[in-house]
Amino acid sequence: MSAPGTAAGTSGGPEMLVERDVAIPMSDGAVLRANVYRPADGGRCPVIVSATPYGKDVHVRNLFPSVWQVLLDHYPEVLEASSGQHMIWECIDPEVWVCHGYAVVQMDVRGTGKSAGFMEPNSPAQIDDCCDAIAWAGEQPWSSGSVGLVGLGYITAANWRVAARKAPCLKAIIPCQGTYDFYRDRTHNDGIYSSGFTTHWWEREGKNNQHGNPACTLPDMYTGEVNTGPPLSEEELVRNRVDYPGEILAHPLLDEWHQARTADLAAIDLPALVVANWGGLGLQSRGTINGWKGLSSPEKWLLVEDGSYFFTFFTPERVALFRAFFDRHLKGIDNDFDLSRVSVAVRTVDGGADIVEGSDWPLPSTTLRSLHLDFAENMLSPTAPERPTQASYSPFEDAVILSTAPLEEELTLAGPLASRLWLSCETPDTDLFITVQAFAPDGEEVTFLAAVDPAAPLTQGWLRVSQRKLDPDRSTELEPLHTHDERQPLVPGEVYEVTVSLWPTSLRLPAGSRLQLTIAGRDFERAEGQKPVVFMSHDDPRDRPAEIFGGRVTLHSSPEWPSAVVLPVL
């Protein structure tokens, strides 16, 4: 362990004791390394634990320089509350929390950073390790015995599963913008392999930070040395890690391997403040919201935000909310923590947002409105076409695009959407890529800042059509849920009913606006050829061979086959 040091507290708080590379014993005999930040006065306090694959010693400015620059330029209030020198990716800023009487433990997951061992992202073994770290934190002489979990993204995806283990000293959780569903929302967008994200993450953040990697590009923010410890040979590195993309490709269905990496939400009964963000389209948002829905917790709150989830995570306003929650549930303080059970930011075309509150999700004030697909007129219409219409496209080449007429009155959407289609195909399978765009009365598209796209559309949905089977007990008209436990190949030329889940969204559209629907067999491209951010692509030929997925698709809409999009209207 590195020699402990102290740092001045913020806002007049106590000095912070910093202990680096603290050894945390695991139940299998391994030792993982963590940094411990705690008040220097030696008193007992609650502990917030995070286990990160990104490096407990890797500063945000080194991992994502552009993100750090945005924080410097546009969020000065964050660094007015802290020096920022201990800020790492997707974890709380310990300097801010220690001054309010909390200890913070940030641990490198096994096989990464300073923690030796076999590197296996998202594995059950990582959850075992995190539970061991919680038990260790609860037993330390400086600990009050109460532990909380909070983080973003990867860390939250793990924390859902950790919370389901019911560690005795774990008292409350704040899952922020991280899916609980490893298959549908992370590795396979409803059956389609998320090749771009998986490859990008594994090469840039995963293998780069493997323990012993001498080629690691990330410096230790405290020493300036390579973050990954003593170097290992390439042969040793390969032996000490799983083939992450290869494993995902080897499990194309939602089988036991994926189930072991998906949380049992019903087992979680802890107080939970769940924070989702519209900026997680295609990666985190749907699984965060649905995570809240599945909790057994009698005390649970859902906050759906606008803007960039990374920056809002650090603002003084957000920290104050988190602290009030933990003060109540980790410290036992009867405070003024007060939040509606569900609070949703409903976005506006001018970049603002209105807060709508409710008691459940979808919001109880939601009504369903169908827009029918009329392929003869290329229109989305309130009424179904009186006679059969159809349209065809080549999955890897073109798309079908339909639009509403200018809206006659204001329309407010907040919630998930669904698309009910009838289609036939020339080949045994096809993938559906469905995109909904919004256009303001002046004709300009209304786009949104997302975690992976600076100009994201209103919403999107994906589905491998051979995996169209629905779970009848868990599906609703707005929220179809596919089992993904088997493939049902298509018979060329036969017409099939297919229901696609479109990810939750929100927007208040003034009269004169339009909605546009694009149905394709490839990643969305705007008319001017602007492609999606590369690491959100779905184009691995091993997953989508042309001879199986390239056949021409015909869409049908008629009184017999009433294809439509279902909207959540407030």
Is 323 contained in some domain?
no
Q: Examine the domain organization and report whether 374 and 255 are in the same domain.
A: no
Question: What CA–CA distances, in Å, run from 329 to 3, 146, 228?
Answer: 33, 9, 36
Q: What b-and-e string marks burial along 145-162, b requiring 16 or more CB atoms within 10 Å of the CB?
A: ebbbbbbbbbbbbbbbbb
Whole-number Å distance between alpha carbons of 366 and 363: 6
Tokens of 86: 């201990």
* Together in a domain, 391 and 247: no
- Among 207, 238, 264, identify where a domain stops: 264
* CA distances from residue 473 to 246, 452, 463, 479, 483 in whole angstroms, order as listed: 33, 33, 19, 12, 11
Residues 371 and 258 in one domain: no
Tell me whether residue 431 is in a domain.
Answer: yes
Segment holding 77, helix H or strand E:
helix 76-80
Residue 103 sits in the same domain as residue 248: yes
* 290 occurs within a structural domain: no
Q: Are 345 and 304 in contact (CB under 8 A)?
A: yes
> pLDDT value at position 11?
43
Q: Answer whether 334's CB lies under 8 Å from 265's CB.
A: no
Structural tokens at position 170: 């774990």
In a domain, 205, yes or no: yes
| Cα–Cα separations (whole angstroms), residue 271 to 104, 175, 341, 475 | 19, 11, 12, 26
Domain C-terminal end among 264, 285, 307 = 264
Secondary structure letter of residue 16 according to DSSP:
E
Cα 27 versus chain centre, distance: 30
Please name which of 157, 400, 375 lies closest in space to residue 285, comparing C-alpha atoms.
Answer: 157
What Cα–Cα distance (Å) separates residue 380 from each residue in 68, 350, 387, 422? 42, 24, 15, 15
CA distance 166 to 268: 7
CA angle, 188 then 192 then 197, to 5°:
55
Q: What pLDDT, on a 0 to 100 scale, did the predictor assign at position 454?
A: 80
Least Cα distance to 33 among 131, 107, 124, 129 occurs for: 107
Residue pair 442/350 in contact by the 8 Å Cβ criterion: no
- Nearest of 92, 107, 102 to residue 23 by alpha carbon: 107
Question: Is residue 355, in this structure, part of any structural domain at all?
Answer: no
Q: How many domains does the chain have?
A: 2
Residue 181 sits in a domain whose CATH number is: 3.40.50
Q: What is the CATH number of the domain that holds 452?
A: 2.60.120.260
Q: Is residue 167 part of a domain?
A: yes
Number of other residues whose CB lies within 10 A of the CB of residue 217:
12
* DSSP class per residue in 364-393: TT-EEEEEEEETTTTEEESS--SS-EEEEE
Same domain, 66 and 200: yes
End of a domain among 264, 288, 314?
264
Nearest Cα residue to 347 out of 144, 510, 533 = 510
The answer to whether the CB of 177 falls within 8 A of the CB of 468 is no
Separation of alpha carbons 130 and 136, rounded Å:
10
pLDDT score for 526: 77
Residues 233 and 371 in one domain: no
Q: Is residue 127 helix, strand or coil?
A: helix
**Residues pairing with 107 in the sheet:** 34, 51
Q: How far apart are CA 481 and CA 310, in angstroms?
A: 29
**């007129």: which residue's tokens?**
377
User: What's the pLDDT at 307?
Assistant: 81
Q: H/E element holding 172?
A: strand 170-176
> What CA–CA distance (Å, rounded) separates 273 from 301?
5
pLDDT in tens, the chain (570 residues): 554 555 544 444 569 999 999 999 999 999 999 999 999 998 999 999 999 999 999 999 999 998 899 899 999 999 999 999 999 999 999 999 999 999 999 999 999 999 999 999 999 999 999 999 999 999 999 999 999 999 999 999 999 999 999 988 999 999 999 999 999 999 999 999 999 999 999 999 999 999 999 999 999 999 999 999 999 999 999 999 999 999 999 999 999 999 999 999 999 999 999 999 998 898 899 999 999 999 999 999 999 999 888 888 899 999 999 999 999 999 999 998 989 999 999 999 999 999 999 999 999 999 999 999 999 999 999 999 999 999 999 999 999 999 999 999 999 999 999 999 999 999 999 999 999 999 999 999 999 988 777 889 999 999 999 999 999 999 999 999 999 999 999 999 999 999 999 999 999 999 999 999 999 999 998 766 565 555 679 999 999 999 999 999 999 999 999 999 999 999
Which residue, among 107, 94, 86, 98, has the nearest Cα to 42 in the 3D structure? Answer: 98
Distance CA 151, CA 223 (A): 25
On whether residue 392 sits in a domain, the answer given is yes
Q: Confirm if 507 and 347 have CB atoms less than 8 A apart.
A: yes
Do 243 and 374 sit in the same domain of this protein? no
What is the C-alpha separation between 134 and 138, in angstroms, rounded?
A: 6
- 282 part of a folded domain: no
pLDDT at res. 531: 58
What's the confidence (pLDDT) of residue 308?
A: 80
Nearest alpha-carbon partner for 484 in 103, 55, 193: 193
User: Strand pairing partners for 278?
Assistant: none
Peptide bond before residue 362 is cis, with ω within 30 degrees of 0: yes
pLDDT for 6: 54
Q: Structural domain of residue 372, as residue ranges?
A: 367-569
pLDDT for the residue 525: 85
Query: Which amino acid does the sequence have at 177?
Result: Q
Give the alpha-carbon dihedral of 71, 72, 76, 78, to 10 degrees.
Answer: 50
251 with 371, same domain?
no
